[in-house]
Amino acid sequence: QVFLCVTSTLSMAVFRDHLVLEDLVEEMKKQSPALDFGPLQPDGQISVQGSFPALRELREFLLFKAKSLPEEGKREGKPHQRLRRKQQEHRGATETRDSVEDEHRETQVVILDTDIYHYMRSFLPKTFQASDVVISGVPDGDITTVCIESAGRKAGAAQGLRAKRMIENSSVELQRVLRKERICFKEHSRAERQRYKQLCERLKPQRPEVLVLPYDTHIDLVGTSAAVLGFSEEVKR
């Protein structure tokens, strides 16, 4: 089954001025006993490995922690905002109005498995489309952070929440049915790797329901169990 284990690198630097990072890591370990934690690095980064749902819960825990930081830490960027507003006073009224609206945008965050994200982008693109909402994804290894920005007005905020629920529901459903097969290139020459990639490209029209993700060291096939198995057998033949 796909997504049994994923690895993510988390940056704890945002907490450095408010919490003892070693104590926070111990709290994280108690919060998520099913996860494996690497050593805390001097720059505040830590590697975490485990199931995707457990990693997602840890991310939510850290987001809650970040929101509860003292207000002083959240005001660091405000001098730059004031300077930007002063510069904009000399620009047109339309630009000033746009700037004010940007400051009142609301952001929802969804954490997805990166393969699930790519599959949704390819086969369910409408999931990431909504009126009055801007949706963007930032892949980071096995995990992708999807940001849903909507205007602070009531209607825009409702659209943002609706888009978040749609993405989350689609992700849960896909996790139940998708599988992944990996074709590794460890012992293959460059020419052999290129032939594998060309072969997969030729097979894609015959198996349009399979997502082919080529990388330098391997090719990932993502789709339903039957579709991925059929594609893989065609490649081996």
**pLDDT, tens digit, 9 for 90 and up, residues 174-187:** 888 899 888 887 77
Round to whole Å and give the CA distance between 33 and 167: 27
Farthest CA pair distance, the chain: 68
More confident residue, 90 or 167: 167
**pLDDT, tens digit, 9 for 90 and up, residues 109-122:** 888 888 999 999 99
Residues 6 or more apart from 139 whose CB is under 8 A from it? 114, 117
**pLDDT, tens digit, 9 for 90 and up, residues 188-231:** 788 888 888 899 899 999 889 999 998 888 889 999 989 999 99
Round to whole Å and give the CA distance between 160 and 148: 6
Is 0.75 surpassed by the pTM of this model? no
The enclosing H or E element of 180 equals strand 178-184
Residue 98: per-residue pLDDT: 41
Helices then strands, each counted (H, E), the chain: 9, 9
Residues 6 or more apart from 146 whose CB is under 8 A from it? 109, 110, 111, 112, 117, 128, 135, 136, 137, 138, 167
Residue 197: per-residue pLDDT: 87
DSSP per residue, 107-148: EEEEEEEHHHHHHHHHH-GGGG--TTEEEEEEEETTEEEEEE
Q: Is the pLDDT of residue 102 over 50?
A: no
44-56 average pLDDT score: 82
**pLDDT, tens digit, 9 for 90 and up, residues 22-45:** 989 999 998 888 888 989 888 888
